Amino acid sequence: MTRPEPDIDRILTDAADRFGTPSYVYLTDLVEDRISALESAFGRWFRLSYAMKCNPNPALLSWLRSRVPFIDVSSGGEFLLAQSAGWEAERASFTGPAKREIELRTVIQAGLGELVVESLREARLADRIAAEAGRRQDVVIRIAPDRVPKGFGDQMAGRPSPFGIDIEEAEAALAEIIALPNLRVAGLHIYSGTQCLKPAAIVENWGIFIGIFRDLCAAHDLRPDRLIFGSGLGIPYHPGDQALNLDEVAAAAAPELDALKAEPRFSDTELVLELGRYLVGPAGYFVTRVTSTKDSRGARIAICDGGMNGHLAASGHFGMVLRRNYVIHRVGGGEGEEKIDISGPLCTSIDKLGTNVVLPRVEEGDLIAIHASGAYGPTSSPVNFISHPTPREVLVTGGQMTDATRIEGAGLRD
């Protein structure tokens, strides 16, 4: 059984009392700590880019704007959302394998910093739109390596993939893109795996990146402005998971990163570490209230006001092959221990947030908190399914608590 510090329970209780449940509570002080840790470990090589798909909450985006140099968007809608939160277009990159013409036209006309090109079709379309807009668009070309080391929770290369240009075709594709008159190749991008908790695998993966960057830049005599590394840094979700030691990763990666920066071709190249869940995941909690309890055929069940509809990832239906419990605790603690199943309010048997979770005795009205919920929360969940109330989103900064809810649904609230 895992217990957080008592002040966390006080914050979660206050948030639930003020704004209701289910709710996501984001603690920006914890995000600040993680930014500092990343800069301490990797700042001699990398600048940071926030992949906003993991948590596009507008209040959080606004808070991050003065703390992270770059933002990566994955749709035209995310680009507009980032702009409305104060991010300048030139600080944004735009990834995604299925960019539509309306999206490309919108971002190019707005002055997007870098378009991450993932296909020749996309490059040709962007070249035409840039010509019509009377500008030359900076692009970075996304490459899909032919292998990803073992240890990544999700792999986006090393197999048939919609993401990026396969390394086997990259040299010819790069030559064609370089020749397009209204695009300027500013660099290369690789994001081939994510959610890795093994330092050796992360370092090996970055080594693959570096080899590809060297080979392609030499083949085309490129002196890139920017090379974007998909971080792959994972976070502990489940009991028994061990958090990454950033200093261990940095020490192991240092020889190759130092050697890259020492080469004349890359001496002025900016290296960017793109990451999302690592920044904000551990800084968020999903808080749900127990509406009733039930004894059923030898099992005890807590039925809560938020479930799969509010937190798809914790239910095990967001990329998890074998369902495992997230770290969960009963807010405020309590006496004794029991094993209990935690279910949501939906009329489906797959609406489960935990199975055989060891907690103090749980009763109607108690609050349950699910850890590591700052990434892939409301926008990754079927919040409108069965029209229960959508989760509130609460931003906590330096003790100040504000309602930062983005998605409003049709559910009835107390």
Mean pLDDT over each residue of the chain, to the nearest integer: 95
Residue 55 near residue 375, CB atoms below 8 Å:
yes
Answer yes or no: CATH 2.30.110.10 is held by domain 282-403.
Answer: no
pLDDT given at position 151: 84
The residue ranges of every structural domain in the chain are: 88-275, 282-403
Query: Is residue 410 predicted with pLDDT exceeding 80?
Result: no
Query: Is residue 322 predicted with pLDDT exceeding 80?
Result: no
Tokens (6 digits) for 367: 């609050």
Beta strands per DSSP E along 145-298: 152-155, 165-166, 183-190, 193-196, 226-230, 270-275, 284-296
- Lowest mean pLDDT across 133-137, 157-161, 302-306, 365-369: 157-161
Express each pLDDT in 236-251 by its tens digit: 999 999 999 999 999 9
What whole-number distance in Å separates Cα of residue 71 and Cα of residue 276? 10
Express each pLDDT in 366-396 by its tens digit: 999 999 999 999 999 999 999 999 999 999 9
Query: Is residue 3 predicted with pLDDT exceeding 80?
Result: no
pTM over 0.75: yes
| Whole-angstrom Cα Rg for the chain | 23
- State the alpha helices, DSSP H only, in 27-119: 28-42, 58-64, 76-84, 101-110
How many angstroms separate the Cα of 390 from the Cα of each of 6, 202, 307, 308, 379? 27, 36, 10, 11, 11
What whole-number distance in Å separates Cα of residue 92 and Cα of residue 288? 35
Confidence at 37, pLDDT banded by 50, 70, 90: very high
pLDDT given at position 1: 45
Query: Is residue 320 predicted with pLDDT exceeding 80?
Result: no
DSSP string, 251-277: HHHHHHHHHHHHSGGGTTPEEEEEESH
How many angstroms separate the Cα of 110 from the Cα of each of 79, 89, 141, 276? 10, 7, 20, 24
Query: Is residue 115 predicted with pLDDT exceeding 90?
Result: yes
CATH class of 88-275: alpha beta
Query: Taking Cα atoms as reference points, which of 40, 180, 60, 201 lies closest to residue 121?
Result: 180
Confidence at 408, pLDDT banded by 50, 70, 90: confident
The burial of 256, by beta-carbon neighbours within 10 Å (0-12 exposed, 13-18 middle, 19 or more buried), is given as middle
The Cβ of residue 162 has, within 10 Å, a number of other Cβ atoms equal to 11
> Which residue is associated with the tokens 């909450």?
57
Residue 27 near residue 252, CB atoms below 8 Å:
no
- What is the average per-residue pLDDT within 277-305? 96
CA atoms within 13 A on the CB side of 84: 11
204 or 153: which carries more pLDDT confidence?
204
Considering the chain, what percentage of its residues have pLDDT values greater than 90?
90
pLDDT given at position 321: 61
